[in-house]
Structures are given as C-alpha cells and as structure tokens.
Amino acid sequence: YAYDAMLMSKMSQALSTAPGDEYAIKAAEYEELYNNIKKEFATRYISGNMPTQRTQTGYLLALRFGLLPDEASEQATIKALARAISSNNETLNTGFVGTGIINTTLSQVGLIDKAYNLLLQRNCPSWLYSVDQGATTIWERWNSYTKETGFHKDISMNSFNHYAYGAVFDWIFGVACGIKPCADAPGYEKILIAPHPDRSLGFADASIDTK
C-alpha cells in the first residue's frame, strides 16, 4: 500500500508540466497518503524501535519501502537483518515476497557482502542449491527436486520455470553489473553505470540493447 502510494506520487510528479497543475496536486496527495501510511505502520508494526515481525522478510519490507520512523530504527533493523541471515547459516529464509527484494535491499542498506554471500550460497535454500540439483531455470520451490529424494511430493505448486525467485537477476544486472535506468529518464534514456564487483564472483558480463 505504501509502495503503491509512493509510486503514484512519483508518476504524477513526472506527468506534471507546471507547479500547481492537476498532476502536481495528485503528486502531493499521494505523498501525503504515503506519509500517513508510514505513520500508521509505525503505530501497528513498530515496537521497541524494531518491526514487530522479526523475520528476514519483515525487516526487508520495512527497510525497502522506507517505513521506519527514524535513523536509529533503520540502523537497528539493518543490524537485526544481518543477524537474521547469519543465524540462518548465511542462507535466506524468505518466500515470494522477501526473495524478490532481499539482495537489492541488502545492497541499499550497506550489506552488499551479505547479498553476495546469498548469491553464491550452495546450501538449501539457495539459488545454487537448485543448480546443484540440475536446475537450468529458476524453480518455484527451493526443493522442487533433489537428487536424494526426487520430485517434491506436492506437485500442485512445483513449477520449474518461475519468475519469483528469479528476481535475483535484477540485482545481478542492476547492482553487481551496475546497469540501471535513471529514475528521471524512463526507458533507459539516461543510464547509470555503477557496478559493485566482488572477488568472490570472479567475473560477470551484462549488456542492454537500447536501440
């Protein structure tokens, strides 16, 4: 809800051609809505300077969408997120909602080393664990198939080519390789080149055709 309001404010501002026009007014209205949601979030879901949902995903959502009330709360949540990953044997503990934003959020808050650790992790659950089981595409479940036990028993949710966990490639492209469209110039009219290499990765190559 907060993210929708934030995006609507930005889109309205982008459509505005003069101060005070209808789009500028809409932008201000959506910004106010976002701020009101943020206040309500703090009332309902912040306790003792921390999100009440003390999971990897709970921390990620609050950080990714700017819902924490102040810098102290942000720093406390960043440290808690790092601990939540470390205490889980440096593996992620996220589903569809958290996995899509985990590496981008870690990089956003200064924990890019954790993002690389997750990218290159081979224990379950991890992307490379699936690769080690023979995956050539991203699966819907971390354990859709294992060499030891075969296919997961619940075949009703067992896609072997699924978008959700594949969102890590957005991070590889935009952060590790560092190719991003500028926010004020849609469609890659302006491009920010800012790779964040790491020795653990060794090599990466990415390109985009903007013709």
pLDDT digits over 59-118, tens only? Answer: 999 999 999 999 999 999 999 999 999 999 999 999 989 999 999 999 999 999 999 999
Q: Looking at this protein, which amino acid is placed at residue 196?
A: H
Cα distances (Å, whole numbers) of residue 182 to 67, 179, 187, 189: 23, 10, 9, 8
What distance in Å separates the CA atoms of residue 34 and residue 66, rounded to the nearest whole number?
10
What distance in Å separates the CA atoms of residue 164 and residue 199, rounded to the nearest whole number?
27
Residue with tokens 């985009």: 208
* Stronger pLDDT, 4 or 190, i.e. the higher one: 4
Q: Is the pLDDT of residue 154 over 80?
A: no
What pLDDT is attached to residue 163?
Answer: 81
Looking at every residue in the chain, the average pLDDT score rounds to 92
What pLDDT is attached to residue 77?
Answer: 97
Cα distances (Å, whole numbers) of residue 120 to 50, 132, 145, 196: 29, 12, 19, 15
Q: Is the pLDDT of residue 37 over 90?
A: yes
What pLDDT is attached to residue 115?
Answer: 97
* Stronger pLDDT, 5 or 208, i.e. the higher one: 5
- Average the pLDDT over 161-188 and give the result: 87
What pLDDT is attached to residue 108?
Answer: 96
